[in-house]
Structure 1
């Protein structure tokens, strides 16, 4: 029988020392800009005899510090009290008990597809608050929900020690400035984030394993896949619905029913799964706290599913009230009321700029709208952008120039002319972003041309999937992404010939 090899004595101490050094280095780099500003101010005051001027920045720092300490934002979401949602409360209690998770635990439902566990104080008592997104509650089966809740509670237990908690906090502070356009700290921050990523991923994998032991490996895998799919679909569809309807002073009364219907569309699921996988693969600065999906699933222990958990979503007692509240939050109806809408408590408050205080958003039903209302407007604007970027006067000439750029490999320059903001994207993520810009610009332009010759929308929810008059279904986005990736626009040109759309020689 083989004897397991024990780690060398002192290995844990070496690992701990390395993590403490990483924490110190990340905090140092995080505070470096403020330290530089302080040195400049001190130098200016010393050599310019401007010591009294230092009082202003010191007062500003003190006021902001006191404000941060004294202010306490209200808890996000809507409370799911045990007396109102006994089934959900029992599920959370069961998971907490099986994980030996102790301490007060609040459950709140939020409108967005997310699951998170945070810390708060209630009447001076340290508590935890579990946030569960309504889209996930509606999409996940009970077993999958157990896996998600189990992961969040288990993760908190794996980061309770001071060193791990500080390491994750330092990572978050260091990563935050890298999300903007101006990233002067990137050369220093990226190596530190890369070095601190393995211990962060270890806590996630350990929490995944604990959750799999509760709900079963199959349920855990399904929960991981479905969560990524729901988030990608929400970002790709739901955000556009809300913004388009808000522009017309309306809001989607049946938002979650429509979103559920979209998730049942195989085309939407395929597109969302692809988007989630691409987002999972792009991590230019090692900022991701979770391992890639495939790695997370392959690391799970094999555990049979528990038969006590159901295969349908958990029914909420107050589902209608919760749904209405979440829709109001997404549509900003609370903001309108606070701005002084009729019959509200905020009558003497100033309404938001550009919004009539006497004209509240009107409810509409997405499922009752003409399907064309849910599709992204194609043609005119997209064609003008492509014509301007290619310096061509006619739509067919612009399309030919774009396809020629794909063929000769000069399309990245064309993509930057179409979307100048690409230069602000990190270099490692720029090729994928440029490809998406190129595919989107050509696809939206081609969409209008195909619609004019009788092609119709295949899906109520996606604008780039069309059905030809002969019944053939084509996903323009997939077709163009493949063309850009391979540098071969021949399949796109074959599609144009089949549709009877003639290219024009570019000038």
Structure 2
């Protein structure tokens, strides 16, 4: 198990001169707005004698830099002490030793299903912090977790040289400039991101290969697939629980138990896998640092890995305290409701004389709630938007008009009326966004019609998969997407006619 893992060989790369030129170009474009603003200020100061006005923006810049410098070494997550979690500490130590990663390494647990490695300074010494998401620690086997840890450590080693590090850091900085609705740098940034993408992807694939040699090809493939599923399910499902419960001043005490239960639902896994694949396919500006999952899996080398890694999840000895802390972070609570001391877990906080009028959220258990509580009611706003876009006065007539628009190809105009923000979506991603808007608005309206006709939910966790009175299971989202893509809404019309809706015949 302790046999060292040789690093993956470097792939053919462009010359150093070309890559440093690319780094310079990406940094120049990333800082172009500030460069232009600085030149304007300098010109105003020199030619219009406006030096006093230049001082104020400069002061703001210095204050911003000071704040950034003051917060850059703050460590996210909850610290893991080797004595508290010996199995986790041993797994990380073993992976680091076999990959020749000998720098100081801290391990911290975060609430999200993610893993990352970052550089920090601790007591003036350069160190690294490994962030591991609690959902990964609960769901992955030790072998799969070793693959995740191995990937992060190996990735840092492949970035160790200044050339690769500089290129990937410049690429990340430039990609962040394209976030948000207003993207004036896109025409300049996209070609540079596209040219630099092979280096980023080769680095990821090399780290995957090292992870496979550490933990085995099978465990690495399973880890890649499971982490993608968890990220998609967390974004599309679990975050909704938090926001919906927060409206009622409650938070999910059993959040991670419910998340684990949802992931065991085949319908949730199917939906999450599809969402993850769709996200991989949408990259209009070549911003993605990771290749699509299918490409990563197919590129894995055949390796057995270490047989001593367990096929069961690791034991977390302080699991209850860690889970409670993560739930509090997700729920936005400022501190433990029990005061934070381990011995007060489960006890009621004593009243304070200076107690704020704000009442803290109350805990509820998702697994104890009635299933209908987990299915939000039909979105009245989305239904009204569809009625307004079609000019109809009933959901049935609005659905009929929408299906006619799908058949004659004019549905994109309806989608733009429903969601005006589509004009901000990059042109390459707009067809997918139009389809999502249409499927969402029609699906919400269709859901209400079918529920009134006696259809029931097929899953405790998903609201768009229904069971017809005859026992047929229908995923409304997939049905609508297929209709929009093909331009043939016949299947949706047949479904509505089967449900007994009489106003949906094509006009």
Structure 1 and Structure 2 fold alike (TM over 0.5): yes
- Residue 14 of structure 1 and its aligned partner are, at CA, apart by 5.5
Contact 1:422 1:430 in 2 (8 A): yes
1:149 aligns with 2:149: yes
TM-score, length of structure 2 as denominator length: 0.92
Partner Cα distance (1:277, 1:92) in 2: 30
Query: Aligned runs of 1:47-62 on 2, under 5 Å?
Result: 47-62=47-62
| RMSD of equivalent CA atoms | 2.1
- Residue 505 of structure 1 and its aligned partner are, at CA, apart by 7.1
Residue equivalent to 1:200: 200
- Residue 151 of structure 1 and its aligned partner are, at CA, apart by 0.2
- Residue 180 of structure 1 and its aligned partner are, at CA, apart by 0.7
Partner Cα distance (1:57, 1:147) in 2: 48
Residue equivalent to 2:308: 308
Residue equivalent to 2:364: 364
Residue equivalent to 1:3: none
Residue equivalent to 2:403: 403
* Unaligned runs of at least 5 residues, structure 1: 1-10
Partner Cα distance (2:118, 2:13) in 1: 29
Residue equivalent to 1:389: 389
SS state at 1:333 partner: coil
- Residue 342 of structure 1 and its aligned partner are, at CA, apart by 7.9
Residue equivalent to 1:412: 412
Contact 1:398 1:506 in 2 (8 A): no
Residue equivalent to 2:4: none
Partner Cα distance (1:193, 1:382) in 2: 36
Residue equivalent to 2:464: 464
Partner Cα distance (2:332, 2:352) in 1: 16
Partner Cα distance (2:150, 2:289) in 1: 18
Residue equivalent to 1:243: 243
Partner Cα distance (2:178, 2:501) in 1: 45
Query: Aligned runs of 1:433-472 on 2, under 5 Å?
Result: 433-472=433-472
Partner Cα distance (1:13, 1:368) in 2: 56
Partner Cα distance (2:480, 2:60) in 1: 52
- Residue 347 of structure 1 and its aligned partner are, at CA, apart by 5.7
Query: Aligned runs of 1:268-417 on 2, under 5 Å?
Result: 268-334=268-334, 356-357=357-358, 359-378=359-378, 380-417=380-417
Residue equivalent to 2:213: 213
> What whole-Å deviation, never above 9, does each CA across 1:358-417 have from its counterpart, x for those lacking one?
x11000000000111111221533321210111112221111111111111111111111
Contact 2:497 2:504 in 1 (8 A): no
The alpha-carbon distance between structure 1 residues 14 and 221, as it changes in their structure 2 partners (threshold 3 A), is closer
- Residue 506 of structure 1 and its aligned partner are, at CA, apart by 8.8
Query: Aligned runs of 1:111-190 on 2, under 5 Å?
Result: 111-190=111-190
Contact 1:250 1:364 in 2 (8 A): yes
Partner Cα distance (2:235, 2:351) in 1: 32
Query: Aligned runs of 1:7-46 on 2, under 5 Å?
Result: 15-46=15-46
The alpha-carbon distance between structure 1 residues 223 and 420, as it changes in their structure 2 partners (threshold 3 A), is same
- Residue 64 of structure 1 and its aligned partner are, at CA, apart by 2.1
* Unaligned runs of at least 5 residues, structure 2: 1-10, 338-347
Contact 1:379 1:446 in 2 (8 A): no
The alpha-carbon distance between structure 1 residues 345 and 92, as it changes in their structure 2 partners (threshold 3 A), is farther
SS state at 1:178 partner: coil
Contact 2:454 2:468 in 1 (8 A): yes
Contact 1:135 1:256 in 2 (8 A): yes
Partner Cα distance (2:44, 2:335) in 1: 45
Contact 1:175 1:287 in 2 (8 A): yes
TM-score, length of structure 1 as denominator length: 0.92
